[in-house]
Amino acid sequence: MTVSTLRFLDASGPQDAADYMWAEDLTQLELDQETYEEERAAEATRLRAYARELLERAAAESAAAGRERLIARAGQQLQQAKDPLPHKRQALEHREQILMQSCGRPGVLVRPSQPRYRNVYHRDATCGLISGDGRLLKNAGWAPIVEAEAAGYRPCARCGR
């Protein structure tokens, strides 16, 4: 997930922004989970087929040591087929946890405020620290508070409490 998933002008406030982001993020997570399941099934099938091939080669092997080695490799392939893409599964689980943590919380406005305070989030779009010349409000974006804090943003002294 990336910080600033919704343009400033698209949301009427923190709760509206959060509702939009949760729906959007949940839809994307569901699509990614479906893709993962398809990839997982294909990889598990491939690993099982390779294990079957190793077992067939083991049956044809005349040396006991070679046969045992092939059987052990087949066992490893079958074990790996239970969770063939662990890194993708873990990444999806992590995204799901972030989404659950942010659910029910309002979004925060993520954008530079003052030159020396570039990593501040705001709860109020009318905060005095984000208005004025050269602040480019149209470049602001709403993000779940959990995601903003994970990206290193801290609350604004005026409106972020």
Q: pLDDT truncated to tens, each residue of the chain (161 aa)?
A: 344 444 444 556 666 666 666 677 778 888 999 999 999 999 999 999 999 999 999 999 999 999 999 999 999 999 999 999 999 999 988 888 777 766 666 677 776 555 555 677 777 766 766 554 445 555 567 777 777 887 788 888 777 66
The pLDDT value recorded for residue 149 is 80
* Residue 21 dihedral angles phi and psi, to the nearest 5°: -65, -40
- At residue 11, the pLDDT reads 58
As a whole number of angstroms, the distance between CA 84 and CA 49 comes to: 13
Token pair 């602001």 is at which residue?
140
Question: What is the reported pLDDT for 36?
Answer: 92
d(C-alpha 42, C-alpha 35), whole Å: 11
pTM of model > 0.85:
no
Residue 107 sits at φ, ψ, to 5 deg, of -75, 165
User: In the β-sheet with 6-7, what is the strand arrangement from edge to edge?
Assistant: 6-7, 141-144, 107-110, 120-122, 154-155
Residue 54: beta bridge partners? none
